[in-house]
Amino acid sequence: MRRSFVRSLWTPFVIVAALVCGFLIAARSSRPVLYHYGAAPEVPQGRSFAVMNPFRNRRPEEVAAELMSDLRTSRCEQILRDLHSEDSRICSIMRGNKIERLIWRKDGSTTRVLVYHLPESESNLWITSHLDEVGFAVDGVSLIR
């Protein structure tokens, strides 16, 4: 009886230990994407799965979320002119997409590239930003369809 009780505790203990080790490894990693499987970010119709580091700096993603929200408004054309983007499809596609999913991110020393999948239009929105004195500022936005 006692032996079966100890054996029944062994499996949950191993699972919890593996989860704790996984979180400790993620906490030590400076990479924002821990694991990526599937199509490259350049392929909008492909399926992709990414495990993001839960301890990453999310400020670039917050700036990108603000930009995407603004791109869904009537100010979209002006924002694109300010960013020197010539892609006229961005405004109509952003107005038609209410859901976006971060599928890839690359961090440089002062730059960030974020790729969001827009499932309603089967396209990917690329947002580049850089770190300046006041925080992250968007450099450009482009769309791959």
**Residue 105 confidence (pLDDT):** 93
DSSP letter (8 states) at residue 68: H
DSSP per residue, 23-42: HHHHHH---SEEEEEES-TT
Q: CATH fold of 32-144, please?
A: Nuclear Transport Factor 2; Chain: A, (3.10.450)
Tens digit of pLDDT at every position of the chain (145 positions): 566 666 677 778 788 888 777 666 666 667 788 888 887 877 777 777 888 888 888 999 999 999 999 999 999 999 999 999 888 899 999 999 999 999 999 999 899 999 999 999 989 999 999 998 888 899 999 998 8
pLDDT of 27 reads 61
As a whole number of angstroms, the distance between CA 136 and CA 57 comes to 11
The per-residue pLDDT for 145 is 83
- Residue 89: its pLDDT value, please? 92
Q: What angle do CA 59, 67, 104 make, to 5 degrees?
A: 60
pLDDT of residue 55: 85
